[in-house]
Copies of this chain bind each other. A is one copy, B any other.
Amino acid sequence: MAGIKDVAAAAGVSVATVSRVLNGHPSVSAEARARVMGAVAELEYRPNAVARSLRTDQTHTLGLVISDVLNPYFTELARSVEEEARALGYSVIIGNADERPELQDHHVRNLLDRRIDGLLVSPTDGGSPLMLDAVRAGTPMVFVDRWIPGVDVPVVRADGRGAVRDLVAHLHGLGHRRLAIIAGPAATTTGSERVEAFRAALAEYGLHLPDAYTGQGDFQAESGRRVTEGFLDLPEPPEVVFAADNLMALGALDAVRARGLRVPDDIALAAFDDIPWFVHTDPPVTAIAQPTGELGRAAVRALVDRIEGRTPRSVTLPARLVVRRSCGAPAPPTLSPSPVQRSTS
């Protein structure tokens, strides 16, 4: 494969001049520029990004470590991150932590070794020493969706409290009083926050969230199933199950169906994180929708700001309730406009 030396030789100039042309340095004669461009085209020369990175100490690459690629929420997040990064001239390397802290560390280490310019993380746990070290060492970092308290890193996330309140209002309005939640891991902020928001919203209606109605899940479908079975085994099962993410909601749906029960007649269901498929499930699932694409884009912008020397800001965007049929009320036609396909742009 042709190198910069070959180009220099072909153009009859020095490598320095070739480099200057390639990097748009002003101080190059039009004639030399033309000859270099010609040689570049002729040889189909492409600069070696590895060598360039070594010299400049910049890779123009962002790392994105997410907790579970199979979760459509994170898939969409990853997609919007890549899009925005590309628009800003960066590539993205995605690491899938699969909700396992050691895998998360593996990816962080790997990305750091590759000298990525910055790191976007949705932490699986309360924060490994490795990640904390990286922050201390000055690695540009931004948390997205989840974060680690007490660490001085910008956070880009959705605030679901308003939407959770709306949800509880909706449920209360339908006459439901015994509400249960399938929580995420307490080590994650989204895991604990959603429970808190739910509890707070219940309190506004004078309702209490008993321990028996607080199941511990891990954001995976299987745990949703398990917890829901526990709920159904209770002497007095809840009237509504609120799953803290879409996968656990699916597990819950499974568990309910396996008992031969029906949603919403026998038990109602709602989920945090809206996904296109919820429109098509039986029944369509009422969910809290995050502005996922916007989160991804804002996170990239914050990270790139940090990388390029500007001051990044934390961003919090509101989530919103999307009412469908899984809690009992027929959805007013105008309230579930959520299209199956996001814009392709």
A contacts, CB < 8 Å to B:
1, 44, 46-51, 53-54, 59, 69-70, 72, 75-76, 78-79, 82, 86, 91, 93-94, 96, 98, 106, 109-110, 112-115, 133, 137, 220-222, 225, 247, 250-251, 253-254, 276-277, 279-284, 340-342, 344
Does A113 lie within 8 Å of B222, measured CB to CB?
Answer: no
| Cα-based distance from A73 to B222 in the complex (angstroms) | 20
Apart from the given pairs A46-B109, A220-B341, A281-B282, 7 other A-B contacts in the complex at a CB distance below 8 Å = A44-B133, A46-B113, A50-B59, A82-B96, A91-B110, A247-B341, A253-B280
Q: Compute how far the CA of A252 lies from the CA of B220 in the bound complex, rounded to whole angstroms.
A: 29
Q: How far is the CB of A184 from chain B (nearest CB, A)?
A: 16
Q: Which residue of B lies closest to A106 (CB)?
A: B86
In the complex the two chains form, what is the Cα distance from A114 to B115 in whole Å?
13
Q: In the complex, are the beta carbons of A49 and B114 less than 8 A apart?
A: yes
Query: Which of B93, B247, B254, B280 touches A93 (beta carbons < 8 Å)?
Result: B93
A234 → chain B closest CB, angstroms: 23
Chain B residues whose C-beta falls within 8 Å of the C-beta of A284 in the assembled complex: 282
Do A50 and B46 touch (CB < 8 A)?
no
The oligomer's copy count stands at: 2
**Contact: A94 with B94, CB < 8 Å?**
yes
Evaluate contact between B222 and A341: CB separation under 8 angstroms: yes
Taking the closest CB of chain B, its distance from the CB of A331, in whole angstroms, is: 13
Between-chain CB contacts (< 8 Å), 16 pairs: A44-B133, A46-B112, A47-B113, A48-B113, A49-B115, A51-B54, A91-B93, A93-B93, A220-B344, A225-B340, A250-B277, A253-B280, A254-B340, A277-B277, A281-B281, A281-B282
Docked complex Cα distance between A225 and B280 (Å): 14
The docked-state distance in angstroms from the alpha carbon of A199 to that of B1 is 46
CB distance from A12 to the nearest CB of B (A): 25
Q: How far is the CA of A225 from the CA of B340 in the complex (A)?
A: 10
Docked Cα-Cα span, A11 to B53, in Å, equals: 28
For A282, the closest partner residue in chain B by CB is B282
B residues less than 8 Å from A340 (CB atoms): 221-222, 225, 250-251, 254
A82 to B78, CA, bound (A): 15
A193 to chain B, nearest CB (A): 24
Contacts of A279 in B (CB 8 A): 254
The residue in A91, A137, A283 that gathers the most chain B C-beta atoms within 10 A of its C-beta is A91
Q: Are A48 and B115 in contact (CB under 8 A)?
A: yes
Contacts of A79 in B (CB 8 A): 69-70, 96
